[in-house]
Structure formats: C-alpha cells, structure tokens
Amino acid sequence: MVGQVGEDSFGADYLKALEREGIDGRGVRKLEGRKTGVSTIIVDDATGENRILFAPNANYAFSGEWTAAWELVPGEAEVVVFQLEMPLGVVLHNIRKASQSGKHVILNPAPAEILPDAVYKDVDTLILNQSESTLLAGDAAASHSPEQLASHFLHKGVKDAVIITLGGDGLVYATSSGLSGRVAAKKVKVVDTTAAGDTFVGGYAVKRARDTGKSFGYLKALDFATLAASKTVERQGAMAAIPRLNELSVN
C-alpha cells in the first residue's frame, strides 16, 4: 500500500488497520501539518447503491518536485494497481515506471478524470465501471455499447484486458488475444455496494499475481473477483465489508 496520511487520528487508525490486516504499510507516509483523506458515503436504503463525497487531503499533497522524483512502486511487486486518488501527474509517472520495469500494471481510473491517450499503452489491465468508461471514452461513448467500449480501450493501446463492471449486471470484458464476453453478477441480498469495485479490482489482482503463466485464466480470475465483490455488497461498510481469502470457495 502506497499513499500519504496526515497527523490526525484518522491517519493513525488507518496505519493500525493496515498492520492488523497484515498489509505492508511502509509505503504510507505521514505528513506533518496535513489532514488524512476522508470520504462521506451515502447509501440508499432501498437499493444499497452509494454516493461518495471524497476529500483527498494528504494524498494530494505532493510538491511538483516529488511528482517527478518519488518512485512509488516497490521493486519486488509483480502486479501493481493504480487508482486516481493521488494527483494525476504522480500516477502517470509511476505507471510509466512500472510498465518500463516489466510489472503488470492494473489501472482502475477512480475517481474518474480524463486521461491522456499515451497512458493506455503502459496499462496491462484496465478495470473501470460504466460511468468511468463513458467519461474516459468521451465522444466515442455516445453510440457505444459496453462491449464496444471495451474494444475501444484495447484499440487505444491497453495491452492485455479491459474489464467494464456493470454493478448488479456483472461485467463485460475483452482481451488483446481476442477473447470477449459477459460475466453475470452473483444473485445476493444487497445491503451496501460500497467498495464492490475496489474488491473486484483486488480480487482480479490477486489472481493475476498468484496464477502465473498457464495457470492464469481470464474467466477464472473474473469469477473469483465477482465472487469477492458479491461478498462485499452483502455487508455494510467499506474496508470492513471486504472478504478474506478463506471466505472465497474458488481458488
């Protein structure tokens, strides 16, 4: 885990939570005089759908110099997941570095913002939800189905796979090797969809990192990530709702 927290109790609690979960938090810096990023999450009682009001605070506190100089990606990582909760320049710089050093780059462009076309050729797997896919595709999105949008990002240069998640409708995917299709969501009792997308990305990244060479299969990885996300929507909360590996019966 790489990022920045402030000196407040949110930051201290966050670092403790990482430790408790056995997550390596050495890449998380504590910034003097800053506040930790916080989100207010509103969940609809009837549908479990959420809206998030997000204040990045310390995660956005990079000076111009750091943008170019701070290498975020640990050498031993094989699969690296990027989101957009840091300034775009920092993320793009580190995506390029990670790609150049042969790591499998997964980009989950959330919260969404317009990206330069040049980034896609450094991304192995692009995972995004429907609204992110329409925002990033811009004019191309107007007449495109999710399937066509997935191909659109492959044409832009994504190296391995594009996965567009569709909430309760599951996902569509397309790969550079010519595979494509849909995977249905699990039918579960939805309590709170917060962190469904993050759990999906985490599940897919776990499969990408663990199943190397011929043991990796797209459908196996998509099924695993879908199962993981379904556990999260059955529970309230964000971090607290994410399942552990031993709760997921496929492996």
The interface with ligand ATP within residues 118-137 (CB under 6 A) comprises 129
What six digits make up the tokens of 104?
């499998």
Residue 168 structure tokens: 């309760």
Please provide the size of the chain in residues. 251
122 is catalytic: no
Backbone angles phi, psi at 194, to 5 degrees: -55, 135
For ligand ATP, give the closer residue by CB, 123 or 196.
196
Q: Is 237 in the site for ligand ATP (CB under 6 A)?
A: no
Q: Is the CB of 11 or the CB of 197 nearer to ligand ATP?
A: 197
The residue from 166, 191, 209, 248 that contacts ligand ATP (CB under 6 A) is 166
Alpha helices for the chain (secondary structure H): 9-20, 64-69, 88-100, 130-137, 146-156, 196-210, 218-233
Task: Write down the least CB distance from residue 224 to ligand ATP, Å.
Answer: 11
Decide: 105 and 124 in contact? Cβ < 8 Å: yes
Residue 61 φ/ψ, nearest 5 degrees: -90, 70
- Does 99 bind ligand ATP (CB under 6 A)? Our answer is no
> Which of 196, 205, 206, 242: binder of ligand ATP (CB under 6 A)?
196
Q: Which of 4, 94, 175, 230 binds ligand ATP (CB under 6 A)?
A: 230
**Other beta carbons less than 10 A from residue 58's beta carbon:** 23
Does 57 bind ligand ATP (CB under 6 A)? Our answer is no
Among the listed residues 122, 124, 192, 198, the single catalytic one is: 198
Is 226 a binding residue for ligand ATP by CB under 6 A? The answer is yes
Among residues 233, 241, 242, 243, the one that binds ligand ATP under rule CB under 6 A:
233
Are 1 and 27 in contact, with CB atoms under 8 Å apart? yes
Measured CA to CA, the distance from residue 23 to residue 48 in angstroms comes to 28
Using CB under 6 A, which of the segments 22-30, 96-104, 145-153, 180-188 binds ligand ATP? 180-188
Q: Do the beta carbons of residue 130 and residue 165 sit within 8 Å?
A: yes
Which residues make up the interface to ligand ATP (CB under 6 A)?
50, 129, 165-168, 170-171, 185-186, 188, 190, 193-198, 200, 226, 229-230, 233
